[in-house]
Amino acid sequence: MDPNMQNMMSSYLKIKKLVEDEEERERAVKVKFVESQLKRKKLSLGEGGSGSGGVGVAAPPPCCLVESCQADLRGCKKYHQRHRVCEVHAKAPVVLVDGFRQRFCQQCSRFHEVSEFDQTKRSCRRRLAGHNERRRKSWLESQKDGTRRRLKENQFRHLNQGSPGNQEFDIH
């Protein structure tokens, strides 16, 4: 072979090797880039998943139902968060909710129109009435029980003193 040609061949091969190396490096970089992109995507997916799994995507951020109230309930008690009322408005005698003058009922844990309350009471009349009703019922129940017991005692006495014993005696 021509030494010149050989020289050229070797330099060609060298260049080819260099180019291949370059390509190889590029490929490696590309792969790394893609990998890092995938990782980032996975990470963001993971973050999104855990976030939506805990609170729920559809759930609105906890805020007071009272109109014009901007209170952030995230720092408030669970009770206030659940019923969506800030501490101040849970105790307010009258607030505007859905365009109505309302008050937060401590018994129902929700807003009623002010007309459902007696004066400054924090429990609606219906609940208070229900409470009294239950008390009256339980009193009546105890009365009925007492009456029934007395009736039973009377029947028992009657059985003991009455004719059934005599009838039985007659049969024998």
Residues near Zn ion, by CB under 5 A: 64, 66, 69, 71, 86, 89, 105, 107-108, 124, 127
Report in angstroms how near the CB of residue 112 gets to Zn ion at its nearest.
5
CA-nearest of 104, 53, 113, 101 to 82 is 104
Report in angstroms how near the CB of residue 30 gets to Zn ion at its nearest.
55
Residue placing its CB nearer to Zn ion in the complex, 33 or 79: 79
Asked whether the beta carbons of 70 and 86 are under 8 A apart, the reply is no
Full DSSP string of 60-74: PPPB-SSTT---BGG
Residue placing its CB nearer to Zn ion in the complex, 32 or 127: 127
Question: Angle CA(91)–CA(92)–CA(94) in degrees, nearest 5?
Answer: 140
Report in angstroms how near the CB of residue 136 gets to Zn ion at its nearest.
19
Residue placing its CB nearer to Zn ion in the complex, 131 or 157: 131
